[in-house]
Structure 1
Amino acid sequence: MSIDPLAHSTSTNPLSRLAEALRSDTVGGFLLIAAALVAIIWINTPFGEAYENLRSVTLGPESLHLNLSLQTWAADALLAVFFFVVGNELKQEFVNGELRNPRRAMLPIVAAICGMVVPAAIYVAINFSSPDTIQGWGIPMATDIAFAVAILAVVGRHLPPSLRTFLLTLAIVDDLGAIIVIAVFYTSGIDLLMLVAAFAGLAVFGYLQRGKGLAARLNASRVPNWIVYVPLAVLIWVLMHESGVHATIAGVAMGLLMRTKAMPGETHDPSHRVEHLLRPWSAGLALPIFAFFSAGVVIDGFGSVVSDPASLGIIMGLVVGKAIGIAGGAWVTTKVTRAELNPSLKWIDIVGMSQLAGIGFTVSLLISELSFVDSAEHLAHAKTGVLAASLIATLLAAAVLGARSRHYRGLMQAMAEKEKEAGGRA
């Protein structure tokens, strides 16, 4: 009898049981949050300089312009693995799941756009008369998908799965939009040759996924597919990194190109097979290391932070702007278009999820550094503002989504009791 490699493991092998545990969003979420807390506490102790020195250690080939700090490797390379898993999961949803319905797929996309425009507008309104800080308008636009998904997994165990899909779609669109903003408004230049080469590599990757011609011969050969796909994926990542575009885009793109249908002779399609393999590495290694090296922010005095229009604009944009933009934009979209909310969700669920999108962190911190290169004071306040806004958004989302999770758990328990009673009468 053949063993299904994608079935839930009942092995007594500790490594197999660990891998199965790491495929749970909840376990991965706790690891990510714990790593972030360690970083925040460490950098705000007298030993904070050791933390800064650690994440500033560089390694990699200088000849390829890849002599990067550990912090950059974590944010650009390890996070690309997570983005690949997310992009791959979204591809499954677009082909076979929730997002196959265009009327439902449109809603998180429009909500993401509104959730970028409104926070930026709030920031501009607060900083309109401050020429020294107005350039930070892009900071509150971004959502940190890794932290948002982790918090959702921890506080919303009984929420409908469609809410997670909504958040994933929204956060991917949000990140793509933020990266475009960085490329257009905060980057001195893009290397078009490298960008074209990266897209050429993606075209080859997509062709190999089709399972025809050369790809079919590769799949039918005895050569393990990873010998071809891993070097190709690394090459695409390097080219994307060299182009000046955030390299995690390579992970998203490759994930969206994965084939979700099994070919004749295949037990499982590549999409589910690779997700099964990579998810434990993403949750157990990539995300905690990324959180550890990215979350270390020195907490400045909150009195001076609130008085700085830059940090005030960031806090209001992420906490208030995201909620209004996403929940309000989604609601209006259902009224003026044929877009629809999944029947398993209520609008209060979307409100709670929109608060989660106020967790800015990584991309917001990156835009902060690009915005205030010449002002250490505004940069410190901006980073503290991002941290404060992310904390406030997390607490608000936890309150709303925690209550909703308990509500759905009650419904499931009541339904189970009814089924039990009906079975007893039968």
Structure 2
Amino acid sequence: MSAPAPTSFRLFDRGSWPETRRIAGILRKETVGGVLLIVGAVLALAWANSPWSAAYETLRDTRVGPAALHLDLTLGTWAADGLLAIFFFVAGLELKREFVAGDLRDPRRAALPIAAAVGGMAAPALLYWAINANAGDGALAGWAIPTATDIAFALAVLAVISTHLPAALRTFLLTLAVVDDLLAITIIAIFYTSSLAVTPLLLALVPLAVFRFLVQKRIRSWWLLLPLATLTWVLVHESGVHATVAGVLLAFTVPVVRSQAAGGPEAGPGLAEHFEHLVRPLSAGVAVPVFAFFSAGVTVGGLSGLGAALTDSVAVGIIVGLVVGKVIGITAATWLVARFTRAELDRDLGWPDVIGLSLLAGIGFTVSLLIGELAFGAGTLRDEHVKVGVLAGTLLAALLATVLLRLRDRRYRRIAEAEARDADADGIPDVFQPPGSHVPAETVTERSNRRHQSDGRPPEGKR
């Protein structure tokens, strides 16, 4: 009986070197943003539970903006509706870049993060629904809260625990989170739009179309594009659709590759990557941390208040959804993709790595808090319980992910060391070189087995 043909596609393989290098640069920026996000959240919690908590609430509820345009919003609302539009603009650019010019233009590579994102949203929502089905009092309105993944927070956790998580897993986590963001903004637009004004929504298409025309002509002048983007945001806000949707719509109009006249795709990064480099620092360094500061300031009210919040079925559903639902949904979706495509995990990785990554995806913060405000109303008692649930679920998922990934870090370190040794003079590890251009690199397991056999020790077993 002949041996089966080798699998031509592996889940969580390394992808192409240019894409790996580009993703690494993005992740470095998001890691810094994640640290700032945590700082903003901790400051808000400390201030809201201090003797000066009234000053925090006064600051958060201070109204600024022109009342004639219905834009006399609180600072907290400006952070949620305005600053997060910047965040979703960057997420939209990244998603379009991945599917147009990145590794995910290959349907086989795209299938996994899409399936994982869908599974990682469906399972938490179902668990939340099961826990709150008989709770009453509008509790089911928060079904989408535990579906989100906060990539900046997750990467900040990775930076703190100093794990050598392979680039393929980091890329998968980033892509999953970006797809997750797109699905989340779709849920917000469809399920959390209480009233719809059609006229402003239709009028928003005018500046959006002009913006698209200019960027398709590769015009970068901020004094032209920024007023059009702002007008689009204002009209979407007036329509009743959450204004962050405008960020995604604007991002999807930006071309990813250069025009043929400018040399085509081979001539270098397109306008989307240019905008991403300009706006991502503003998103990661200002927009998300400021939103976290104005949204995470929940008054716990001592142990009794914390106990009351944690016994609310809404908070319980959020915690279970983030910690258990994400693991079930992402791991099951990954298994189904492997089962029906006959793909296998990369030879250096195992299913514990998928579970650890799923726990990281349970770190839901920014979008979870946003959906909680939309579901129950900012400042309400139920919204306070949502914040406690999101914070508790995020911290529990982060702790469990830390334990599991630290246990696996010895393997990750060997993978990183092997790739560093395999780098040629061009600085590109051999595993990223085209077939036939180098001697095929051994996997970490194969290299480990060869060393063990040479010194008389038994080879490494299967994971």
TM exceeding 0.5: yes
Structure 1 segment 337-356 matched on structure 2, within 5 A: 337=341, 346-356=350-360
Aligned to 1:286: 287
Q: Which of 193, 210, 214 matches 1:208?
A: 214
Q: Which of 237, 242, 245 matches 2:241?
A: 245
Following the alignment from structure 2 to structure 1, what is the Cα–Cα distance between the partners of residues 73 and 53? 21
Change (3 A) 1:253 1:341: farther
Change (3 A) 1:354 1:240: farther
Q: Which of 73, 77, 86 matches 2:91?
A: 86
Following the alignment from structure 1 to structure 2, what is the Cα–Cα distance between the partners of residues 202 and 151? 37
Structure 1 segment 11-410 matched on structure 2, within 5 A: 24-132=29-137, 133-152=139-158, 154-155=160-161, 158-211=164-217, 219=219, 225-263=221-259, 264=261, 269-299=270-300, 301-337=305-341, 346-372=350-376, 377-404=381-408, 407-410=411-414
- TM-aligned CA deviation for residue 99 of structure 1: 0.9
- TM-aligned CA deviation for residue 206 of structure 1: 2.9
Following the alignment from structure 1 to structure 2, what is the Cα–Cα distance between the partners of residues 374 and 256? 30
* Kept in 1: contact 2:101–2:257 (CA 8 A): no
> What is the number of residues matched between the two proteins?
391
Aligned to 1:15: none
Following the alignment from structure 1 to structure 2, what is the Cα–Cα distance between the partners of residues 382 and 288? 19
Q: Which has the larger radius of gyration?
A: 2
- TM-aligned CA deviation for residue 74 of structure 1: 1.7
Cα deviation 1:82-124 (Å, max 9, x = unaligned): 3222322232222222211112212222222222221121122
Letter in 2 for 1:286: A
Aligned to 1:13: none
* Kept in 2: contact 1:202–1:236 (CA 8 A): yes
* Kept in 2: contact 1:26–1:150 (CA 8 A): yes
Letter in 2 for 1:201: P
Following the alignment from structure 2 to structure 1, what is the Cα–Cα distance between the partners of residues 358 and 225? 36
* Kept in 2: contact 1:103–1:340 (CA 8 A): no
Identity of counterpart residues, as a percentage?
53
* Kept in 1: contact 2:79–2:287 (CA 8 A): yes
Following the alignment from structure 1 to structure 2, what is the Cα–Cα distance between the partners of residues 242 and 157? 45
| TM-score (norm: length of structure 2) | 0.74
Cα deviation 1:350-390 (Å, max 9, x = unaligned): 32232233233343334434444599554433331122111
- TM-aligned CA deviation for residue 53 of structure 1: 1.0
Following the alignment from structure 1 to structure 2, what is the Cα–Cα distance between the partners of residues 139 and 372? 11
Letter in 1 for 2:296: A
Letter in 2 for 1:244: G
SS at match of 1:117: helix
Letter in 1 for 2:235: L
- TM-aligned CA deviation for residue 404 of structure 1: 4.6
* Kept in 2: contact 1:152–1:164 (CA 8 A): no
Following the alignment from structure 1 to structure 2, what is the Cα–Cα distance between the partners of residues 67 and 341? 52
- TM-aligned CA deviation for residue 167 of structure 1: 3.0
Cα deviation 1:18-40 (Å, max 9, x = unaligned): xx999633322222221221111
* Kept in 2: contact 1:149–1:167 (CA 8 A): no
Change (3 A) 1:345 1:49: farther
Tell me which moved more, 95-104 or 174-183: 174-183
Following the alignment from structure 1 to structure 2, what is the Cα–Cα distance between the partners of residues 209 and 258? 6
| TM-score (norm: length of structure 1) | 0.80
Cα deviation 1:134-181 (Å, max 9, x = unaligned): 443233233334434544555566434443443343334333433444
Following the alignment from structure 1 to structure 2, what is the Cα–Cα distance between the partners of residues 103 and 31? 35
SS at match of 1:258: coil
Letter in 2 for 1:269: G
SS at match of 2:193: coil
* Kept in 2: contact 1:88–1:271 (CA 8 A): yes
Letter in 2 for 1:251: G
Following the alignment from structure 1 to structure 2, what is the Cα–Cα distance between the partners of residues 268 and 418? 28
Change (3 A) 1:46 1:259: same
Structure 2, gaps ≥5 residues long: 1-24, 425-463
Tell me which moved more, 271-280 or 235-244: 271-280
Following the alignment from structure 1 to structure 2, what is the Cα–Cα distance between the partners of residues 239 and 164? 37
Following the alignment from structure 2 to structure 1, what is the Cα–Cα distance between the partners of residues 240 and 185? 10
Tell me which moved more, 188-197 or 403-412: 403-412
SS at match of 2:143: helix
The CA RMSD measured in Å over matched residues stands at 3.3
Following the alignment from structure 1 to structure 2, what is the Cα–Cα distance between the partners of residues 344 and 138? 35
Letter in 1 for 2:184: A
Aligned to 1:423: none
Aligned to 1:17: none
- TM-aligned CA deviation for residue 237 of structure 1: 1.6
